[in-house]
Structures are given as structure tokens and as C-alpha cells.
Amino acid sequence: MKSRFLFPHKWRLVGYCCFAATMVFAIALKLLHPEGYVYADLHQVPGSGHHLQPDTIIDQGTRWHNDIITSLIILGLVLIAFSKEKIEDEQISQLRLDSLQWATYLNYAIFFICVLFIYGVHFIPVLIFNTISPLIFFIIRFRWKIHLLNSPLRNEEENR
Amino acid sequence: MKSRFLFPHKWMVPGIVLFLTGIAVHFINQSTTDPAGIFQKIHPFFPGIDMQVLADDVEYLSLVIGLLLIAFSKEKIEDEQIVKLRTDSLQWAIYVNYGIFIICTIFINGMDYLGVVAYNVLTPLLFFIIRFRWKIYQLNRAVVKEEVVS
């Protein structure tokens, strides 16, 4: 059983760099505009009166950095998630498949709960977060399982 | 190499039924100006519930549960090859999905982008189902050809 469609092992580093860059950018944005940069932009629109006009809000928020940040974070997470391990064997492939399915299930389960309990404008952040959450769940579970596999305690217990 | 976390084969039928229900509710929601107008305004059992919100919930949930069941029901025969196809297709679907999503992020802005984000919830499952089914179809056709030749 061979793993296909995977990136070389070294590319994971690139992934981490992309992810770190996005995080730094997000934190910087948060420090510069604590109340949310979309609303900060809205204040600068002459005569906007801070009305909640959907088009204005979204358009003001949509700048070049939005595109770049979305692309970068997805690229980073995909590279982290789907880079080859140093040793790709049967067990790692099995873990990968399991984790991918598990992440999909968990993601949709959380999505159900959000659909039931969150309405209206507040649902938009749920949708946005939903684009990257499967990858995050996958990475966490895959890493955790590999950690368990590698931990010497576990190996000793199995040998007895 | 075993498949884990899969639903029984039979559950694919309720999956398809739920998916069709979801699509029907979606079109009802889209085609009426007052989306909940076709239903009763007030819920018969829970008078406090807004029917619009309920219709949206039914649409989302039946679509997502239906697609999940279709995607992750066991095949009649789950062997090594099917498991391999499943892994490949799942990864492939995620790649295609994020590829399209990045292109949409760059070229679609404003309110239209919300639609992209909303559809993005379902598209990985759709791509997975299409590719998985297509590969199984190819596999079966190859097997039939071999039998005819021999």
C-alpha cells in the first residue's frame, strides 16, 4: 500500500512558515484594530454613520491582505497535513486514512451543533472557520496518534 | 489494512433519501420569495419557532447528513483495493476543494464570497463521492473486460 498525492517531507517546514506568517499577521491586526479591522475601516468611510450595511461591511473588509491571508493559511495547513513522514509505512497510511475520516466526522458533528444553535449574522464566522477546521482537526489527531505510536512507554506495554 | 469508522452498507439508501430531501427543501427555499411561506407560518408543536430558521436547518442538516452517509457507507465488499481508493479519493477531494477555494478567494469578493464559503461546507464530500464512485466504476469495468477476454 503506497501513499499517493503527498508532498515531500521537507515541505512541511514551508507549511509551518506559511502558518506562522499568517498567525503573526492576524495578531498584529488584532493589536492594531482591537475592535476588528472591518469596523475600523468603516469608521473611515465618510458619511457612513456606522450603519450596518452588509455590502459596505464586506467590501470594506475585502482587501488584498484578505485574499493573501486566506490562501496562505490554507496552503500552510495543507502542506503541514499532507507532507510525507520520514518513514511512510503501512501503519502511517492507516493512521492517515483513519485520521482523515475522523476529522471529517468531528468537523461535521460540530457543524450540526452550530447549525442548530447559531443563526443569522453569527453563522457567518462558523462558515468561515469551517473552511480550515477539518485540516486542523486532522493535523491534531494525526500528530497525536504518531506521538502515541512513538512513545516508548506504549511500546513497552505492548511488548509485555 | 482495515477500514474503520464506516457506516453499514444499507445506510446508503437513507443517505440518498436525505440528500434528495435536502435538495427539494433547498429549491423550495430558493423559489419562494417568502421562503417559509409554503409551510405553515407557526410551528404546530412549538409556537415559538421561526419557520424560516427551521427550513434552513432542515435543508442544511439533511444535505450534510445525506452526503456523509453516501460518502462513508461501507461497500458490499470492502477489500484492500477499495480502502486504497477511499484514501486516495479523500485526499484528492481535499486538494481539489482547497484549490478551487483559493481561486475563488482571489477572484470573488464581497457578498458573493459568502456563497462560496457556504458551498465550501459541502464540496469536499461532493468531490469525494464523485471521484470514489468514478474510480469504482472504472474498476468494475476493467474486471468485466477481463472476464470477457478470458
Q: Mean pLDDT for each consecutive 10-residue tract of chain A (160 residues)?
A: 79 92 86 62 49 47 69 91 85 87 92 84 84 92 89 63
Are A93 and A80 members of one domain?
A: no
A49: left (phi over 0), alpha (psi -120 to 50) or beta: left
Sign of CA dihedral B89, B95, B98, B101: negative
Residue-range definition of the domain harbouring residue A159: 87-160
Residues A104 and A159 grouped into a single domain: yes
B90:A116 CB<8 A: no
Set of chain A residues whose Cβ sits within 8 Å of the Cβ of B1? 1, 90, 93-94
pLDDT the model gives residue A54: 46
- A94, B1 in Cβ contact below 8 A? yes
| Domain termination residue (choose one: A60, A84, A108) | A84
Instruction: Tell me which residues of chain B have a pLDDT lower than 50.
Output: 36, 38
Residues A39 and A114 in one domain: no
Residues of chain B above pLDDT 70, percent:
83
What span, in angstroms and rounded, lies between the C-alpha atoms of B109 and A21? 23
Of B4, B80, B87, the CB nearest to A96: B87
Residues of B in contact with A74 (CB under 8 A): 98, 101-102
Nearest-Cα distance to chain A for B150, in Å, is: 28
Q: Do A1 and A80 fall into the same domain?
A: yes
Q: Are residues A66 and A135 in the same domain?
A: no
Residues A70 and A100 in one domain: no
For residue A106, count CB atoms less than 10 angstroms from its CB and return exposed for 0-12, middle for 13-18, buried for 19 or more.
Answer: middle
Is residue A13 domain-shared with residue A92, that is, in the same domain? no
Q: A145 and A101 in one domain?
A: yes
Q: Are A18 and A68 in contact (CB under 8 A)?
A: no
Domain boundaries along the sequence of chain B? 1-74, 77-150
pLDDT of residue A59: 47
Q: For residues A50 and A113, state if they share a domain.
A: no
The residue whose grid cell reads 476543494 is B97
A113 and A55 within one domain: no
Q: In chain A, how many domains are there?
A: 2
Question: Does residue A127 share a domain with residue A79?
Answer: no
Closest of B41, B65, B64 to residue B53, by C-alpha:
B41
Residues A9 and A50 in one domain: yes
